[in-house]
Amino acid sequence: MTPIPETDTWSLLFVFVLATFIGMGVIGRVSRLLHTPLMSLTNAISAIAVVGSILVTGSDYPVEIRILGAIALFASMTNIVSGFLITDRMLKMFKTPAKTPAKPPVATPPAGGDR
């Protein structure tokens, strides 16, 4: 078994926090018209992550790595499903409501009754 190289945890945490703030800043400035294409792109990226996490979860890796693969699979699938739900909701906002056909006027009897 090959030894696992030691990583600098603080550097990894710093990169994660920095990427989080940059991502929030970039996505917060996206207009509504670009939101739907952006969501479809992130769904495609998440689909790649799903394939990778399935490979990790089903392969012959140590239990800890397979558990992380299962967590990644759950997170990616949640992202994809919620992305499709949000995209559907955004597209419904731009849809014009269907016009109902006008009802024909009802004939009213003449005033004063039959003579």
pLDDT above 80 for 25:
yes
* Residue 52 exposed, middle or buried by CB count within 10 Å (0-12, 13-18, 19+): middle
pLDDT above 60 for 34:
yes
pLDDT above 80 for 81:
yes
pLDDT band at 70 (very low <50, low <70, confident <90, very high): very high
Q: Is the dihedral of CA 83, 43, 36, 20 positive or negative?
A: positive
pTM > 0.75: yes or no: no
The residues spanned by each domain of the chain are 32-94
What count of other Cβ atoms lies within 10 Å of the Cβ of residue 48?
Answer: 10
* Segment of 27-36, 81-90, 94-103 carrying the highest mean pLDDT: 81-90
pLDDT band at 29 (very low <50, low <70, confident <90, very high): confident
